[in-house]
Every structure is written in structure tokens, then in C-alpha cells.
Structure 1
Amino acid sequence: MLQGHALDLRTDLTPLFIAHPALAERFVRLRDRLDTSHDAEDAAALMLQPGQDTPAVAADRDDTAAAFTDLLTEIRGREGFGSFLLPAPPEELTREASAGPIVVFNISRYRSDALVVTAEGVADVELQDLDIKTLGERIETFEDALATARLSPDRRERTRAEGVLCEVLEWLWDTAAQPVLRHLGHDRAPQAGERWPRIWWAPGGLLGMLPLHAAGYHRREGAGQSVLDRVVSSYTPTVRALGYARSRRTLLPPEHSLIVAMPVTPGIRGSLDNVLREAELLARRLPEPVVLIEREGVEDADTPTRDEVVARLATAEIAHFCCHGTSHPSDPSRSQLFLHDHRERPFTVSSLTTARLHHAQLAYLSACETMRNRVADLADEGIHLASAFQLAGYPHVIATLWPINDAIAVDVADAFYAGLEGRRKTIDLSRSATALHDAVTRVRDGFRRRASPSLWAAYTHTGV
């Protein structure tokens, strides 16, 4: 039952929210009512004999279940949604784990487990020290410390806040990441010359609000007690989403790229001082770059408007955005990257629905909160800009979990693209996850940065 719930019923609602938002909202509302009715059943069971329900609980549960079944039928009748919420066959699960294990988490108030999918099958790793109440408290602690580390004018307060972030990452290692890596036999850092193992995290729920890829004891230099020191991490909303991403990839080197740079943004105070440097560096690294740059007081053919960006995406294998971005506080499908005309024509998750991105291979979102969902009720659905770009056809998406330092963003981006360079200076996109891993490790191990995870732990790779 546990595996059926976590693997078969886990779904990425991004496609539904984009194509049929009203149906998606009804789905979430009815699903949450079903969850509530089960909680009511549990309460009733404490007072009644087994098999008995209060009439009100039973009637509400039956009505909600019937409405939910009718809604599933309606959704599956829409084009492209015929298999919505249907179980993935076992062979599909194991096939997608052929390149490395996929770890699906199921956290509840009853128990917590990591379901580890490998080419051999599915194993259940019970996470005895992880409970949903403590997880919620740790997330709140992490986000409060993150805000202080980024915004406080007091250096001592920032240092203390970074220490709190490190403590949460250590707790995340002890309770969630280390038990999984121990089960898989990843109990040490790979030796020089050894192939680094890959792992795909499908955290879902509240756990997806913390950086699993950065869990560990980073203040202990050389200890190797961290995810970053043992495996190369990627994320996927679901097993099927990973399969879709793999179906879109190509082994051919990219021939065209798009760089969108917003050093200033109309209607937003302040500037991103290092964006121009980032764009200039990447224009020298990327193939046949088209560079759209916002220039204050100027609007011309190179201005990054929504329509111009969408049109240029159609011919570029690589799309790199260096700009402001945000996750919407109540509607994740309205999360956006801020372009020139963001007030009139916002470049949101739903903006990608009509784009014909037949060449798409890599989207690098060097912006704030591009893999963040701030709506707790929708945390299990993976609705954010990173998943939208993956759904639009990008097998590789680089994104961030929180606002990033734009000076360090340049270092990470430059090191990332340098890590993609193969023989004869061609770009090998199959190295995307490894290149990001190496770039982040390099920044982390820089001068006094190991104890400052706010600077380097936000970067994520989603996809193949």
C-alpha cells in the first residue's frame, strides 16, 4: 500500500495546471477534502468499534470520493491526460532507474519512508528519525535563517544565521539523505579517477522545500559526510517526468543559444550588477549566441520582451536567463521571470504552453526561486518554473531554490559551462548534472564558503 501510494499516485500537476487550471484546482480541492475525511475517520475510530463510522463522516467521505472519481474520468477524457494518476507499470519504474536510483519520499504523521527505485526493483527504507511535524519546524527555521543570512546588515547576525542553515543541513543528512545513501552503498567519497554515482531525488511534499542535494556536514572539511561529497544529484517531479525528459534529449552538440540578460528591470528598484559580466562571459563560451539585453531607456530588436524571448527559444538548444525571478505566493503557475514587459505580458509558467521548442535541450535559470513552490498545499505537485521548462521540452534545467548572490551566480555559471566543454571545445550537455555538481563544489570549497550554504546550496539540476 505504501509503495502504491507514493509511486503510483504521485503526480506532477504542472501539465494540468497549465492546460486546464480549473480542473487542477478542483482536483487539489477534492483531494485535500479526501485527506481531511480520512483524518476524521481516524478520530472516529478512536471512539467507535472497528468498522463503524459516524453518519456525517461516512456521508461526506462517500460524496467526496464519488466527486473525485467523476473528476478523474473528466480529466482522463482530455487530450494528453489519458493516463492521469494511473499506476506506472513496474517495468517503467525500473527502466527509468537504469542510469541510477530514483528516490521517492513519503512523509506523513504515521511514518516516513524513502522508496528507492533501482534497475532491480523497489526497496523501502524506513526513515525512523524523520516526522512531518519536525520537518515543518525545520523548514520554518531554515527559511528564517536564510532571510537573515541574505538581508541582515549585521555581519555577526549573518554568520549566526549561516550556522543555523548548516545545522538544518546536518539534520537533513542524519534523518533523510544518509539512510538512503547507506542503503545504496554510497558510504564514502569516490576516489580520484572513480566514476561518480548519479542519484535522482523525487522529494515531493514539504521535503522538496529543503536542498536534499546539499544535506550534510559541510563545516567538517575533508569528512565527506554530505550528499555533495558522495554522489551527483538531480531532481525529478515524478518517475514519468524523468522518462519524458529522456525522450527529449539528443546526443548532438548544440548549435545555437539564447542569452537573456536583465541588469535592470522596469518597475523594479535596484540593479543586478554582475548580469552584464555573466552575459559577456557566456557569449564567448556558447555556440552562435543571440544576446537580448535590457538597456535602461532603450527598446529595440534586442530588448527581452516576452514575445521576442519565446520566438528566440524556438531555435535555440540552450537558453540562459540572468534576471530577477520569483515564485508566486498563492498560484505557482504564475511564478515568473521578469522581462522587459513583465507588467503587461508576464513570462510565467503558463507562458511556455504555446511555445514550439523542438530544439530545446538546456535551460539555465540564473534567477531567484526558479525551483521553489511557496504554497504548502501544493508542495507535492512540483509546480514551479523549473518543472515548466522541463514540461516544455528541456531535458536539463538548472534552477535555484532561493534568491542567489549575483556575483557568485557568475562564478557558478562560468564554471558550469566550462565543465560542459568536451573535445574540440564542443559542448556535451550529457555532462550537465556533473558540471553543476563540480561548479557548486568549487564555490563551496572557496575561501570561507563551506559554512555559508546560502551562497552555494540553492543550485539544482532537474532532468536527465
Structure 2
Amino acid sequence: MDHKGMENLFQDAVFAIGLVPRMIVRSLESSDDTLFLLSSAVSVASNAAALALETDKDPMLALELLESGRGVIVASLQDLRADAYDLQAKHPLVAERFTRLQKELSTPAPSKVTTFFQLSGGREVADTEQLDRRDQAVREFDSILEEIRQLPGFQSFLGSPNDSDILEAARGGPIAVINVSEIRCDAILVQRDRARSLRLPYLYLQDIKKKGEGDDLGSIDILAWLWATIACPVLHALGFIQPPSTDSDLPRIWWIPTGPLSRFPLHAAGYHGKRSYKTVIDRVMSSYSCSIKVVISGRRRRICTTSPSTPGQALLVAMSQTSGYNTLRYSTDEVANVRDICKSMSLKTIDFQNPHKRDILRNLPNCKVFHFAGHAYADASNPLNSQLYLHDWKDNPLCVSDLLKLNLNAHAPFLAYLSACGTGRVRDDSYLDESTHLISAFQLAGFRHVIGTLWDADDEWSVEMSRITYEGIHEGGLTNGSVCRGLHNASRTLRDLWVDKMRPEERERRYEDIDKSVTHGKRPMESPTGVADASTKGHGVNRGTRKVDRDDGGGAEEGSKGTARPHWVPYVHFGV
């Protein structure tokens, strides 16, 4: 297709992105309906961004399209919890109206599908007054947003981040947005002084989808493929060519994958067998986010500190027994380690063995740390029904939809550690753009940091993973950097143990062969000097796993080629 044809497609895509906000229904009860509507627009934002780059548009415009067309539910619900401190200081009357509408729309109301009915003389009379008032409040909320955006200094209030906001988001380290599309695949790299695009010529959407159908996304081959196609060119473009001289100098990077790539462990990419340092984990510390806007809002969220007179609380849950699923005999050991470390950080611990849903919801608002060791389930048909398994999960499950109704921002909880299977998983491709999983639900509820998993977690290895992570947090204090560093230390320690257990033939494997298979024999991704070749522009329940997914495989102790599974790989950090 010629340039003019591409330009026409781009304009059509921009028009489609403009329709996405009309699908938003600003109420908690309507998230289900909104999610269904947005499933029809899957990949629209990624295609629009790809077309923007294909037609030589500014990478900032591509980012704007991605921010506008992805994570719409999370963004709309964030609007209902957003702080209005600056608005209150400069325009108190407008702020008062805004916060009143926020509160009203955050209050549960009858849905249009399951409206409260009152029997009267054999007739069903709908309580339409509440529904009419809710619809009016939605219109008033959208109207006052437009009014606020007319005020000096508030032009981007609760909107997509502007250019300066995006660059400021990278103050703690670069952000790598990996956009995948049938048109092309790119990394959009955001640093303090600029945003630029990096084409990934050997990454193809069809390859991502095909590899994503497997049950071993942490295999040696997958990690090597991720390195050759994505991580190596990205890190080299950012200047992360060698490991730093000391661990204290390790830089951070935030990964924002799009589409089906969000299932893959970019933080674990590399050639690990030869300890060649051609790995992500030996060069940077990795965090993830659903969008740049989530990074920005997380940084702006207030931090509540604890004092000796009012120590923070740690809510610790061990679900060693779950009706219908395998016993997790190491979960109690895991929580015991976490309890000791939390106490050494002057946190008051509240322990539950096999609690009910009401126990968790009653204690979450007052906790600084929430640690869950148990089973989790990623619902294939509706991600809002994904849940943590508690004692009463059959009758009263704790689902993503329940967490989305929480607003814990006033108490500013610090960390939710979800030591369970697939808490960051969205299993239906139609919902990938919304990132509606347990990790994002805890973030939206107000937790500054969330640690979770991309797939099944091994029960025994989870003990060491959490222990080393919390030791790192204890060493660094309850600070933003300590969580990422703690998980990084744990991952690298368990990575080294995994490499030690590799078969000799796997450790000595010629990774150049993988390069050639990835690049179809054209040329290796990394030259002898270590410079990347890329263009830059401006799983059934089984042995000791915490997996309860009902219709896919995986979780075996050995990978597809007999190599011990890398149990460190699925753990990820979302946060600032």
C-alpha cells in the first residue's frame, strides 16, 4: 500500500480511537457492560499507533493513541478516585462539585439489568429514580470535567497525559512501550529528555500469538527469543550494554507491553545458560505498568508514613486448604517468614488461616501490606470474575469486580504481594487491552506496589521468592525502590539456582543458532561488539503449584525439553 493509502488508514484509526471514550459508563456497576463493548475494539489502539509510526508521525502521537485507546476501564475508574488537591487550592467551589460527583458515582447503585424490584399488587415496579439520578450524575461529571479543563493549568486534568507529563514519568528510569500490530512492531522509548521509536524488525504478531498458545512461556527458547527480538535492541538503544559495576548502580526500566505480548516475561529475557550477561536481569531491574497514565497517577498518590504510636498493619493470609484443590503445604511456611520480617519492620501483623471474604474486606482498608499465599483463578470468559480463592470462594468469591469497588487511597496501602497463580493473567485476547486482572485491581484499589505472577507459581519455590523479596524491602525500607529491588534480588538468586540445575548441553547451547532462527538467517541480532541491530527514530492442578485454571495445561516440574522449569520467571512487579 502506498503512503497515501496508509495515511487514509491512519485517519480512520484516529477516528475510531475518538469513539472509544463513548463506550465508557462511569459507574462501578457498569464495568461489565463496558468491558464487553471494549472487546469489540481490541487492537484498535495498537494498530493506530503502528500506522502513526508507519506514516512518519511523532512517537508522542503514537503514545497518545495508545493511552487513549487502552486501559479505558481502569482510567475511567481512576477518575472517580483522583485527588483534587490542586483544584481545591485554586478553585474550591469547582472542586467541591467535582468531589461530590466522584463520591456519588463511587457509591453502589442498582444496575440497569438487575434493578431492584418491589412487588406491589402483583406488578414489578422498577426503582427508576436511582437509575435516572445516576445517569444525570454521569452527565454532570463529564460536564464538569470539560469545565475544569478550561481553567488555566488544568487543560489535561484527568485526560491523557501531555508530553511533559510523559517525559516526567520517566524520571525514575526509562519506559519501554512495546507495541505489537499486524502492521509493524515497535518499542517506543520514553526518557527524561525525549521519546523515540525503535522498530523491532524481527518481531511479528503472528509469532507472538503462536508462541503464546504454548504452556511453557518461561522456556529457554522463549526467553532467548524475547531477548533477540525485543530486549536486546531495547536495552542497547537505552545504553544498557553491560551489567553495572555494582548492584547498587542497577538502573530500572518500566515495561508496558501491548496485546498478546503482555503474557510474556520481558524481565526474564536473555541467554542465561552461559552466564554471558546477555540478559535483562543482569543489566536492569524491571517493573511493569498497564499504561503511562498509571505510572503517573501512582507517583502522584500520597504516601502515608507510619509512626511508633500508629504502626502500620500487615494482613497475612495462608490458604493451605482450598476446597476442591491441592493442599499448599508450604504456604504456612511462607507466611511465617513474611510475618517475622514484617514484625522487624515494626508492622503489626494480622494473620488469617483460610479466611472468609468478609475477613479480607474488613481488614484491607487498614493494612499497609497485604500478603496472600494460596490459589487464584483467572476467568477465561470474563476477567472481572477472576478471583483469589478464600474459604467461601464457591458461594461468595473475592473477585476483580469486588476489588474495583474498593477505594483505599486515603490510607495509601504500600504493597500487595499475591503469591498465587496467574494473578496478572488475562486469558481472552479480546480483553488484553484492558489489563483487567487481579494485579491491576489491587493497584486501582489503592496499593502503590503489587507483586504477582503471569502464570503458575510453584508452592515450594514461593517460600524463597517471598523471603528474599521481603528481606530486600526490609533493607531498603518501605520505599518505592525497595520493592522492585527486593523482587529483582529474589529473581536473580533463584535464576542462578536454576542455571546450576541446567543440563550441560543446555548451558553450552549455541545461542547464535537461536539468533539465526529468529532472523531467518539474515544476520544475528547482536554483533561481536555487542551492538544491537535495530533502526531508531526520533497451567490442571499438579505437583506443588498454586494453579487452578480449569482448561489449560502446564505447571509440570520440567519444561518441554526436560530442563527444570524456571520458577522465578512468572513473578512481576507493578508499581512506581
- Alignment TM-score, normalising by the size of structure 1: 0.78
The answer to whether the aligner puts 1:288 opposite 2:348 as a matched pair is yes
Q: Is the 8 A contact 2:43 2:181 kept in 1?
A: no
Q: Determine which of 430, 441, 448 is the counterpart of 1:395.
A: 448
Q: Determine which of 263, 286, 299 is the counterpart of 1:246.
A: 299
- Equivalent position amino acid for 1:306 in 2: K
Q: Determine which of 241, 245, 257 is the counterpart of 1:203.
A: 257
Secondary structure of the residue aligned to 1:234 is: strand
Q: Is the 8 A contact 1:16 1:23 kept in 2?
A: no
Alignment RMSD, CA only? 3.3
CA shift for structure 1 position 353: 3.1
CA shift for structure 1 position 17: 9.0
Q: Is the 8 A contact 1:234 1:460 kept in 2?
A: yes
1:194 and 1:352, CA in 2 relative to 1: closer, same or farther beyond 3 A? closer
- In 1, Cα distance between the equivalents of 2:248 and 2:341? 28
1:140 and 1:179, CA in 2 relative to 1: closer, same or farther beyond 3 A? same
Q: Determine which of 433, 439, 444 is the counterpart of 2:484.
A: 433
- In 2, Cα distance between the equivalents of 1:342 and 1:260? 14
- In 2, Cα distance between the equivalents of 1:305 and 1:25? 28
- Equivalent position amino acid for 1:248 in 2: R
Give the equivalent residue in structure 2 for 1:45: none
- In 2, Cα distance between the equivalents of 1:122 and 1:199? 14
- In 1, Cα distance between the equivalents of 2:25 and 2:424? 16
Q: Is the 8 A contact 2:244 2:250 kept in 1?
A: yes
- In 1, Cα distance between the equivalents of 2:337 and 2:43? 51
- In 2, Cα distance between the equivalents of 1:193 and 1:342? 42
1:16 and 1:231, CA in 2 relative to 1: closer, same or farther beyond 3 A? farther
Q: Determine which of 372, 378, 385 is the counterpart of 1:321.
A: 372
Identity %: 32
Give the equivalent residue in structure 2 for 1:275: 331
CA shift for structure 1 position 218: 1.2
1:105 and 1:79, CA in 2 relative to 1: closer, same or farther beyond 3 A? farther
Q: Determine which of 117, 121, 130 is the counterpart of 2:194.
A: 121
1:379 and 1:353, CA in 2 relative to 1: closer, same or farther beyond 3 A? closer
- In 1, Cα distance between the equivalents of 2:331 and 2:198? 44
Moved more, 77-86 or 269-278: 77-86
Give the equivalent residue in structure 2 for 1:463: 575
1:285 and 1:180, CA in 2 relative to 1: closer, same or farther beyond 3 A? same
Which entry has the higher C-alpha Rg, 1 or 2?
2
- Equivalent position amino acid for 1:461 in 2: H
- In 2, Cα distance between the equivalents of 1:80 and 1:318? 35
Q: Determine which of 224, 230, 239 is the counterpart of 1:185.
A: 239
- Equivalent position amino acid for 1:317 in 2: K
CA shift for structure 1 position 180: 0.7
Moved more, 101-110 or 188-197: 188-197
Q: Determine which of 397, 409, 420 is the counterpart of 1:367.
A: 420
Q: Is the 8 A contact 2:256 2:289 kept in 1?
A: yes
Residues 94-109 of structure 1 aligned to structure 2 (within 5 Å) = 94-109=167-182
Unmatched 5+ stretches in structure 2 = 1-6, 49-75, 77-134, 146-155, 503-562
- Equivalent position amino acid for 1:117 in 2: V
Q: Is the 8 A contact 1:94 1:117 kept in 2?
A: yes
Report how many aligned residue pairs link the two structures. 395
CA shift for structure 1 position 306: 0.8
Deviations 1:432-460 (A, max 9, x none): 00110011111111263566454110000
- In 2, Cα distance between the equivalents of 1:251 and 1:185? 35
Q: Determine which of 233, 240, 255 is the counterpart of 2:312.
A: 255
Q: Is the 8 A contact 1:412 1:440 kept in 2?
A: yes
Q: Is the 8 A contact 2:373 2:420 kept in 1?
A: yes
Q: Is the 8 A contact 1:15 1:391 kept in 2?
A: no
Q: Determine which of 399, 405, 409 is the counterpart of 1:354.
A: 405
Residues 214-225 of structure 1 aligned to structure 2 (within 5 Å) = 214-221=268-275, 223-225=276-278
- In 2, Cα distance between the equivalents of 1:461 and 1:32? 25
Secondary structure of the residue aligned to 1:421 is: helix
- Equivalent position amino acid for 1:411 in 2: E
- In 2, Cα distance between the equivalents of 1:252 and 1:88? 28
- In 1, Cα distance between the equivalents of 2:255 and 2:24? 18
Give the equivalent residue in structure 2 for 1:28: 38
- Equivalent position amino acid for 1:230 in 2: R
CA shift for structure 1 position 196: 0.8
Moved more, 345-354 or 85-94: 85-94
1:289 and 1:20, CA in 2 relative to 1: closer, same or farther beyond 3 A? same
CA shift for structure 1 position 397: 0.2
- Alignment TM-score, normalising by the size of structure 2: 0.63
- In 1, Cα distance between the equivalents of 2:478 and 2:161? 34
Moved more, 413-422 or 19-28: 19-28
- In 2, Cα distance between the equivalents of 1:186 and 1:34? 32
